[in-house]
Amino acid sequence: MRLSGKTALVTGAARGIGRATAVALAAEGADLALLDVGGDIPGVPYPLGSESQLDHTATLCRKAGASVLTAHTDVRDGRAVREAVTAVGDRFGRLDIVVNNAGIAAPSGKPVHEIDEEEWGLMIDIDLTGAWRVIREVGRTMCEQRSGSIVNIASTAGLVGYRHFAGYVAAKHGVIGLTRAAALDLAPMKVRVNAVCPGSVRDDAVVEGRMLAEIARALEVPVGEHEHAFVEAQPMNALMEPEDVAAAVVYLASDDARQVTGSVLTVDGGYSAR
């Protein structure tokens, strides 16, 4: 119970890595604020986390012993983010851990010169600026407390390039830069900021993940064959599991990592070491 007595906020908590992380934090004793857009966004070509999926994540966290607050929050909306963070303070009285997980993988699947303004803007607004909006709001609270841990979910796409994913790659590289700059800004107030870079994460049915399938679809890799295709690129011959990423987040959120800030932790089976 490394996180007993602490409160954690997770964005993109309805499913996938967000759900796995929320449940792992709850299992370590944290209370949870679970944020998700809770519906689809025009321009994103696949269904996003739903209201019922967010409720199911909350149920799983409560079963693990956590007190839970949920909010339908679009990280593109600064006012909504501010209201959610205020609600966390009103409910729990403090905020110790933030996991910036909300993000999209598409619109993608085309070369850089064919991306239009709307597609580029949507990707950057959610995956990069959304993380900044959350940090801006929670940073104020954590600086007043003079404590806190922020974990940004980046990607191996923040470390290397991928064809036909220029918007996603640019956003995730930006998340790593944001992590390092924010870590230096907040270090005097004892607030830590780190990033986790997952590799290819299996779409586990338990957490209702679908990110890998959507990346495959954008690359025109047949769904059903895509896991094998992604495994072939992995040095350890296995996909990552959502729980692998969640375990890295728990470490960075805990006092075990009390001197770790501005760091980028890869959970990619060696992919980015090549």
Choose among 81, 163, 76, 158: nearest CA to 125: 76
Give the end-to-end CA distance of the chain in Å, rounded to a whole number.
Answer: 36
Any alpha helices (H) in 12-77, and if so which ranges? 16-27, 51-63
Q: Which stretches within 93-187 are classed as H helix?
A: 117-124, 130-145, 166-186
With tokens 């760091």, the residue in question is 263
For 93, the token pair is 């009285």
Q: What span, in angstroms and rounded, lies between the C-alpha atoms of 153 and 135? A: 13
**Which residues are paired to 11 by β-bridges?**
35
Which helix (H) or strand (E) covers residue 254, if one does? Answer: none
Rounded distance between C-alpha atoms, residue 166 and residue 45, angstroms = 17
Nearest to 53 by CA among 186, 205, 223, 165: 205
* Torsion sign, CA atoms 177, 201, 52, 45: positive
Backbone angle region of 167, left / alpha / beta, with phi > 0 → left and psi within -120 to 50 → alpha: alpha
Q: Is the CB of residue 137 less than 8 Å from the CB of residue 82? A: yes
- Which tokens hold the place of 219? 């690359």
- Is there a catalytic annotation at residue 162? no
Burial, 15: exposed, middle or buried (Cβ in 10 Å; 0-12, 13-18, 19+)? buried
Q: Out of 46, 162, 168, 271, pick the active-site residue.
A: 168
Residues annotated as part of the active site: 168
